[in-house]
């Protein structure tokens, strides 16, 4: 059962929904672009939260600054990285040390931006918007566990994402006939998330990233 919580950093107060599974692993889930209506109630964010929680992983989905009851204003992805790190810190305060960063669309871009700033489990990135935003893939090698996208996603072109996944040495799952929003393909997405989460390997048991 999710409960409403507030946490923050500096003068920013963020709204979130937290569910504790009782297990050792937690996931922090980031939502799509705030200026395009993205928030923690997004259907794909809900699928991520529900599927990971059902797999025994504690979850925290939250609203970036300026969204819902979170204070502040949109910061073009930079301040949102700090919001995400504050969400990770909240999970750590709950005693969770093994944290999976997960994001959808804009949230996947923000998630990618913190992976070299904090030691976390390899990330779960859904509909990585490589056609919209710049990424520093050089620092992401070994820090991404799974990329999921549809084969009809204009913001995550299949040919491009295949090359990126090979460069990152990460798992790539492509859902046939799916676009950026996974209309009518939600069950397929949930199945892939469940498969990935069942194979998570805690950092303490994983080879150290050079």
pLDDT, tens only, 33-72:
999 999 999 999 999 999 999 999 999 999 999 999 999 9
Confidence band, pLDDT 50/70/90 cuts, at residue 204: low
Give ∠ CA 180-175-148 in degrees, rounded to 5: 65
Confidence band, pLDDT 50/70/90 cuts, at residue 203: low
pLDDT, tens only, 146-164:
999 999 999 999 999 999 9
Does residue 207 carry a pLDDT above 50? no
The crossing angle, in degrees rounded to 10, of helices 186-197 and 43-54 is 40
Mean pLDDT computed over every residue of the chain: 95
Instruction: Compute the half-sphere exposure of residue 75: CA atoms within 13 Å on the CB side of its CA.
Output: 15
User: Own/partner pairs for 203-206, CB < 8 Å, 24+ apart?
Assistant: 203/98, 203/119, 203/120, 203/121, 204/98
pTM exceeds 0.85:
yes
pLDDT, tens only, 72-111:
999 999 999 999 999 999 999 999 989 999 999 999 999 9
Distance CA 179, CA 17 (A): 27
Residue with tokens 């998570």: 200
């Amino acid at each position: 059962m999710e409960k409403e919580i507030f946490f923050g950093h500096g003068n920013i107060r963020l709204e979130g929904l937290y569910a504790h599974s009782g297990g050792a692993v937690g996931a922090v889930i980031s939502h799509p672009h705030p200026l395009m209506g993205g928030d923690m109630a997004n259907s794909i964010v809900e699928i991520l939260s529900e599927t990971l929680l059902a797999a025994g992983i504690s979850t925290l989905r939250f609203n970036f600054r300026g969204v819902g009851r979170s204070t502040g204003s949109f910061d073009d992805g930079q301040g949102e990285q700090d919001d995400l790190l504050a969400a990770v810190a909240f999970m750590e305060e709950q005693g969770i040390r093994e944290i999976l960063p997960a994001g959808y669309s804009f949230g996947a871009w923000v998630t990618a931006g913190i992976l070299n700033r904090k030691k976390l489990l390899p990330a779960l990135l859904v509909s990585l918007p490589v056609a919209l935003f710049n990424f520093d893939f050089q620092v992401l090698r070994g820090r991404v566990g799974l990329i999921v996208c549809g084969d009809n996603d204009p913001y995550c072109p299949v040919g491009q994402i295949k090359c990126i996944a090979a460069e990152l040495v990460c798992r790539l799952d492509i859902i046939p006939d799916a676009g950026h929003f996974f209309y009518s393909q939600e069950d397929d997405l949930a199945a892939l998330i469940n498969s990935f989460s069942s194979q998570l390997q805690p950092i303490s048991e994983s080879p150290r990233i050079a």
